[in-house]
Structure formats: C-alpha cells, structure tokens
Amino acid sequence: MGQDSTHNRSYFLNAGEEEKSIFLSTLCTLANADGKIKDSEVRFIESLAAEMQTEVLPQFFKYSAELCIRNAAKIRSRRLALELIKDMLSLAYTDDEFSDSEGQFICSIGDALNIEPQKIGQISSWVIDRIIWLEQEALIFEETANRGGEHGKN
C-alpha cells in the first residue's frame, strides 16, 4: 500500500522534534509488535519520516510498548494524535496481517492519547476503505504491488 501523495500532512509543520520522534518510534514499535519487521513496513515509516523532514533512528525499533505509551501521552495536538492512530492502522494493515498484539498496542496508544474507542473504529473503517480503493485502483489500472520481504526481528 503506497502513501497518497495528495494527502495533506501540514499538521507536521507545527509538530516539534519530540513529537515527531514519538510519532515515528511508536510506528517502529508497532512494526515490531508481531515479532516481524517487513520491508513494506520499513518503507512506510521511512516515507513518513521523509515527509516529516526527519529520520528514523535505529533505536526506535527497540523501544518498549510501555515507553511508547508513556511518550504518546505527551502529544497535545488532537489532530496529530488522530493522525498517529490512522498511520498506526495503515501500518498494521501494510503486511496484510493485523495481529492481536498490534490491535492491543493501537488501543493502548489510543487510550494514552484520550481517543475514544468509537473514533478509533471510525478511523479503522476509513483506513480499510482506503486500502480497498487503492487495491481496486491497482486492478483497474493494471498496476502490480511490490510487497517486500521480511527483516529479522530487531
């Protein structure tokens, strides 16, 4: 699943470096939640980091879920918090395997960000609908998806 380059990510302009690090480290921890970090997940995170004009640090993949949950509570912007949940859900679906551990981690981050479970459900539905649209687009326009291999657990 590719990034939609027309999606407005201007909310990153007001995010500080700490918030950007929290955002990316949370995504990295999610990528590792099922014990497998796939190339497609790394590409997703690196693409997002480039949009944020920052980089993914190797230690981000080694953060504990507990640390990420504590750090997530530092995000004050509701929009940034909602976007984090959206990007977490997008990342979780990137490898076509949404694991229980990924779902639990997303819910825990949502709790830390004070995002209502119903709102997480709405965002999840939106992400799934978007994936379906992108897959239909690929079929209609005869595009082939490049699903990456798998990295070893970090």
pLDDT one-digit tens code per residue, 62-71? 999 999 999 9
pLDDT of residue 10: 75
The CATH number for 88's domain is 1.10.3680.10
Average pLDDT, the chain: 89
Question: Residue 6: inside a domain, yes or no?
Answer: no
Question: Residue 152: inside a domain, yes or no?
Answer: no
In the chain, the percentage of residues whose pLDDT exceeds 90 is 76
Contacts of 60 (CB under 8 A, 6+ apart): 21, 24, 25, 28, 29
Q: Are strands 150-151 and 37-38 parallel, antiparallel or unpaired?
A: antiparallel
pLDDT one-digit tens code per residue, 92-113? 998 778 999 999 999 999 999 9
Question: Residue 4: inside a domain, yes or no?
Answer: no
Question: Residue 115: inside a domain, yes or no?
Answer: yes
Count of domains forming the chain: 1
Question: Residue 41: inside a domain, yes or no?
Answer: yes
Domain of residue 50 covers: 12-142
pLDDT of residue 8: 66
pLDDT one-digit tens code per residue, 114-132? 999 999 999 999 999 999 9
Question: Residue 99: inside a domain, yes or no?
Answer: yes
Mean pLDDT of 24-37: 94
Question: Residue 34: inside a domain, yes or no?
Answer: yes
Q: In what helix (H) or strand (E) does residue 151 lie, and over which residues does it extend?
A: strand 150-151
Question: Residue 151: inside a domain, yes or no?
Answer: no
